[in-house]
Structure formats: C-alpha cells, structure tokens
Amino acid sequence: MTGETVRARDHGTQEQRAGADAPAETVGALGGGAPEQPAGVDAPETVHAIDRHAQVQPAGANAPGETVRALDHGTQERHVGADTPDGAGGITGEIVRVLARECGLELAGVAAAEPVADAARYRQWVAAGYAGEMRYLTDRRAAVREDPRSLLRSARSIICAGKLYQTPWPLSTQFDDEARAWISRYAWGDDYHDTLRRGLERLAARLGEHAGEFEYKICVDTAPLLERSYARLAGLGWIGRNTCLINQQSGSWFFLGEILVSLDIAPDGPPPDRCGTCRRCIDACPTAAIVPGVAGYTVDSRLCISYFTIEQRGSTPDEERGGMGANVFGCDICQDVCPWNRRAPLTPDAAFAPRHFAPPLENLAGLTEQEFRTMFRGTPVTRARYAGFLRNVAIAMGNRARPEFRAPLEKLAASEDRVVAEHARWALDRVAQRSC
C-alpha cells in the first residue's frame, strides 16, 4: 500500500499504496519500499524452513544470498507432505483464512506459485515508460517478477494476506483546511512493513504447527513480486481502474503481504470485476494519471501525485504542481471516491492511527532535518527524504497561496538545496499572484 509502493503503490506502492503491481506497478501503498532502503530493493529476505527437528538447513539451497532458518517444534523431523499425498500438510485455504485472522490479517487466500498472464501486461507497462524513474521496476528485478520461484525455488503456493488500515478520520476529499497538509492515509501511523511482517511471521509459525516441515519466504512489497495479480487469483479482490485491489466487503484500504511456501495448497479463485461502468477514480484524479492501457486502465506513474511526492527525486514538473493540492506525501483521492470504500471496515489495530493528522504546513516548512526524522520516525514518510519533503511542502503552500505562508517560504527560498529553493520561489510567486 497502500502499498511498493507506490501502494504502492507503491502504490505503495504503493504504492497498497499500499503498493502496486499488475497490470502495472504504481506507487506506494502505493506502497513504496522500506523507508531506510531504495524503493523496491529487496529487504534481506530470509527463507525459513519450519522443521520439526530444528536442524539448520544448508545455506545456498535456495536463491543466491538467502539464508535458511529452522524453527523447532520439538518432534521428529519429516519432509514436506510426508504424511499427506497432496503435499499440503493438511492445509486448506479455509485453514489459512482462519489462522490468518487469528494473526491479525483480515483477508487471506491462496494462489499457485507459477507465472501469471499479467506478467505480459507488466512488460508492456514498463515498455510504455509508465515506471518513470523507478529503475527498480525496470532493471534485472523486472525479470525476477516473471516467476515467484525466482524468490523461493521450492515454492508451490503463495499465501496472500491483507491487513486493514482504514481509520475513522476524514477522507482527503472531505478535508478543506487550507492551512494544513495532507499525508496519505497509509502513512499516518507505524510503518506497515514492520506490522505486516510480524503478522505474516506469526501466520507462518501457526501453519508449521499444522503442516510440519516446509520452506517459506515472506514478502512485504519490497520483493519483486506481482503481488496484486496473485492476490486477485487468491480471491482477495479484483484490480480496479485505479489499479488498487478492491475487495467487495472491505474496499481497498488494506495492505498486502505474501508467504511463498513449499506446501502445495489448493488455490482459491479470482472474484469477478465489479467496477462496472464507474469512472469516479478516473475523473477525480487531478493529474489525469489513470490512463487507458492495453487491457483496461492503468496508472502512468509520471503523472501520479504519489510518484511526485514519494518516488521522484529532483524537480517536480511545473505543469503538474498545481494539481498536487496540499498532498505532501502520497495521495488518496482515487480511493476516497471509490464507491466500494463507502462502507469499508475500520482497522482495530492502533498502529495505523494518525500520529500527526493533517499537520499545519507552516510547521512542516520550519522543520530541521533532525526534527523531520524525529517527527516521522517509524512511519513511511521518511521515504520522501528531508529535501523531497520540503519540496512537497513548498508546492502545497504555493497551491494554497495563503499570505501567512510568505515568511516560511522566504526561508525555504534561501535553502542551500537548489530544488527546495526553486520550489519555494515558485510558491512565493503564487502567493503574490493571489494577493494581487
């Protein structure tokens, strides 16, 4: 999510901003990746062997650079599926869903660990240039996304899970305080990478109690995996025109995470696409980032507010700044207007409650780098980096063009960072024009 994303999406993205995959990876939650590493660069993912004998498996038995850990269940060692002919260790999709809910993951399903047709659409999306400057989507990792077994050679199934993050606070489309900034909903609280990974680790351990020995690998939107495509095949939802995964009961306010397992679990099936003739997300996007694709709609990251405020380094195109409104990190508009989110359930997890809901723009403009790190430590916001965040704040101030913004903008215009200074001067011109 939001996902990553960018969403990412991401989306994170989320890009799901959380994150953001097939038919095209978007930004954030649009998920983006872990805040302390380059976007989309794989975290030092480990392959674990749930092993009843607690014997560490030999390193190098999986993908290069991966390590293997054994969890001890205190009984006799056995191989995957030794007592079950189907190789699933007695695990079914329904058992996965029950265990997932017990681990705080509200949505779960199973897909086969094999290439998907959306891989071709992803290649077309990359070829069209829609990834912008997000090279982690177009370099060697693009090919890795073709087959999940590139991440875990023994993988036979992918357990896809969703964790809700909707909170009882206003939507960006309901918020009109011109003195305040908007931060994307997925980034209000704790970094979802950590929270979601803990839930997936608990789920893997619970599966081991039922299935015995098996290998697994956890992915939380930093791994090169077309996660929304697999989540769709696992029955978690359909991919909407805004490229977010939409669940009929839960809407799209949930993060995605996966466990690749060596268990051969019967897969679930995809739900029907229920967007119908709706165009609300397309028409609401202020930068017209949702564009016709080869099959349906996709997101051109080069026009996406989440991309501008999270992924892009350097100057934001002048012609796009006006459409960014008060968004200083990510954007929720295409999800805010989605009819399927009108009755989306709220998360019971306090980790996603806002630490700083819609902070005053003037306060953000005055932050030192250390204050920025302190204020947003442990949240996805640090991914924008200090200079990028101040650039975004300057754009938001220029779009609001309030007279009281003149003084803080003049300080930003004197910044040693040329990008921050240039955007502050642009904003000062907007304030001057409104004052005339």
| More confident: 51 or 301 | 301
What mean pLDDT is reported for the chain?
83
pLDDT digits (tens, 9 = 90+) for 242-260: 999 999 999 999 999 999 9
The structural domains of the chain, with segments of one domain joined by +, span 1-358
Average pLDDT of the segment spanning 383-396: 98
Catalytic residue chosen out of the listed positions 21, 51, 118, 221: 221
pLDDT digits (tens, 9 = 90+) for 299-315: 999 999 999 999 999 99
pLDDT digits (tens, 9 = 90+) for 141-157: 888 899 999 999 999 99
Average pLDDT of the segment spanning 35-51: 40
- Residue 30 clears pLDDT 50, i.e. is over it: no
pLDDT digits (tens, 9 = 90+) for 166-225: 999 999 999 889 999 999 999 999 999 999 999 999 999 999 999 989 999 999 988 899
| More confident: 3 or 410 | 410
- Percentage of the residues of the chain whose pLDDT score is greater than 90: 73
191 in active site:
no
pLDDT at position 48 is 58
Which residues are CB-neighbours of 31 under 8 A, at least 6 positions away?
A: 1, 2, 3, 4, 5, 6, 7, 8, 9, 10, 11, 12, 13, 14, 15, 16, 17, 18, 19, 20, 186, 192, 221, 255
| More confident: 429 or 71 | 429
Model confidence, pTM: 0.81
